[in-house]
Amino acid sequence: MAILLKGYAAACHLVPTLSVTVMVSLLAWRTGWSGWHLLLLVVAVLSGQLSVGWSNDAIDAPIDIAAGRTAKPIVAGVLSVRGLWVAAVAALITTVVASFVAAGLLGGAIQVIAVASAWLYNLRLSRTTWSWLPYAVSFACVTPFITFGLAPPMTPALWAIAVFVSTGVAAHLANALPDLATDQERGLGGLVTRLGEVRAKRLALLLLALSAFILLVQLAQFNAVAAYLIPLATGVVLILAIRPTKRPIFFLAVQALAAFEVLVILVTGIPITS
C-alpha cells in the first residue's frame, strides 16, 4: 500500500501540486475566505491539481515507456494506466463539485475552466506551439476564482492576473526544458521544442522580469521595502538560470520565485481585488 501511495504521489507531480494548492489557498484566506468555504476551496484546488497530474502521466505513458523514464511510476511498474485514469476522473469530478459549492456559479465556473484548460494541455496542446496557452488561461483564473467566490463577489485586480499569467507561462517553459532533448528526438512539438533551449530560457526570463516589474510597481505604493525585495529575488533566479548547472534547478527556482511573490502579497496585504 505504501508503494502504491508513493506511486500516486509521484504521478501527480507532487511539488507543483502542493505549491499551487498552498499558494491559492493562502491567497484566498488573505482575501477573506474562511471556515468551510475555505476548506472546500482547498479541496477544489487540490483535487483539480491531482486530476491534471494523474491524467498527464496516463496520457504520456507510451512516451515515457519508450523513453525509459523509470522515475515515472507507470514505467517502473508501480501503477497501471487504468488505475491512473480512474484516479484522474474521480479527482476531476471532485473538483467540479467542490468548486461550485465553494465559490458559487461564477467563481466555480472559473475554477472549472482553469482545470479544463490544463486537461486540454494534456490531451492535445502540450505537443503544439500553443502549449503555453493553457498555462496562461489556468493561471489567469486564479485571482478571479478567489475574488468572484467571495460573498459578495468582487472584481479581480488586473495587475494580479498579469503577474500570475507571466509567472505561469515562465514556469511552463522552465518545466519543459529538461525534456527538450527527448522531445526533439521523437519529433514532439511544444513551444520549447520550437524555440530551442536558448530562446525558451530567454523568453522565460523575460516573463519573470515582467512579472516582477508589475508586482514591484504595485508594491511600491504599499511597502517600499518589500518592493525592493522583488528584483532581488528575481535576480537570484536569473543567476541560477544563467549558471551552467542542471536545468531542473531553473524550474525549482521559478517555483520558489512564485512562492516568494505570493508570500510578499500575503505579508504586505496588498489587495488582489480592484
Residues contacting residue 177 through CB under 8 Å, at least 6 positions apart: 192, 197, 200, 201, 247, 250, 251
| Closest to 80 (Cα-Cα) out of 157, 9, 4, 165 | 4
Which residues, given as ranges, of the chain have pLDDT below 70?
181, 183-188, 241-248
SS3 category, 143: helix
The pLDDT value given to residue 250: 77
Annotation: CATH topology of 157-274: Four Helix Bundle (Hemerythrin (Met), subunit A) (1.20.120)
Between CA 127 and CA 133 the distance in angstroms is 12
Between CA 57 and CA 54 the distance in angstroms is 5
The pLDDT value given to residue 258: 84
Instruction: Please say whether the beta carbons of 21 and 5 come within 8 A.
Output: no
**What is the tens place of the pLDDT at every residue in 204-236?**
889 988 999 999 999 888 877 777 788 888 888
Domains 1-124 and 157-274 share a fold: no
The pLDDT value given to residue 224: 76
The pLDDT value given to residue 187: 63
C-alpha cell read off for 42: 482547498
The pLDDT value given to residue 73: 86
Question: Class for domain 1-124, per CATH?
Answer: mainly alpha
Instruction: Please say whether the beta carbons of 248 and 178 come within 8 A.
Output: yes
